[in-house]
Each structure stands twice: as C-alpha cells, then as structure tokens.
C-alpha cells in the first residue's frame, strides 16, 4: 500500500489530501514510474514559502495498468510505502520498499 498526495487536486474531494492506494502487481509490474527529487534524501525544500522534505513522485502511469486502476495520477507524491514513511528517503530506498511484497 502507498499513501500518495495529489499535486493537481483535480480528481479528489480535498485538493492535496493524502490518499492511500493499494496496487496489485500485474504480469507487467505495477504500471507506474517513480522519479525522485533528490537521489539520496536531503534537506527540506521551500515550495511556495512552505518547507517540504524531498519526495519521490509518480512520473508515468501506464494506461490500463494496475496503478491507473488504483487511482494513481502522474504527479502524485509518495508519502508512505507499506506503512513506512518515505518523506526525505532516497530514491533507491523508496523503490526497494515498493518491490517488497507485503
């Protein structure tokens, strides 16, 4: 399970509200790509005057794939994976957690 925060706010009732998703891995994988703001974690980043830890985000969602079926959107920021907070974690650590079957 991943907890995501919608950057666009366009398809959820509360803009920017975190929303948990459960993605069941299909034969071709989970159906999304992750891009990291900072490769090895790092310092807080100022966005519109607010400080945020570096976050990994969804850079691509495969049409018709498990992630799309679960409601994942391009631009969603990954806050938690399998119950572990990943705010400020490195890209490699987030990928490692996603690959763990729980």
Model pTM score: 0.73
What is the SS3 string spanning 17-79? CEEEECCCCECCECCEEEEECCECECCCEEECCEEECCCEEEEEECCCCHHHHHCCCCCCEEE
Whose CA is closest to 16, among 26, 27, 8, 24?
A: 8
Per-residue confidence (pLDDT) for residue 11, from 0 to 100:
44
Kindly tell me the burial class for residue 30, based on how many C-beta atoms sit within 10 Å of its own C-beta (0-12, 13-18, 19 or more). Answer: buried
Model pLDDT for residues 26-46, shown as the tens digit of each residue:
998 999 999 876 555 556 667
């Amino acid at each position: 399970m991943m907890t995501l925060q919608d950057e666009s706010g366009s398809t959820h009732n509360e803009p920017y509200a975190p929303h948990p998703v459960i993605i069941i891995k299909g034969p071709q994988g989970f159906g999304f790509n992750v891009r990291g703001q900072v490769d090895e974690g790092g310092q807080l980043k100022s966005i519109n005057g607010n400080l945020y830890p570096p976050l990994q985000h969804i850079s691509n969602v495969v049409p018709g794939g498990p992630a799309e079926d679960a409601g994942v959107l391009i631009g969603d920021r990954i806050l938690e994976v399998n119950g572990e907070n990943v705010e400020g974690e490195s890209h490699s650590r987030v990928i490692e957690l996603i690959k763990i079957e729980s």
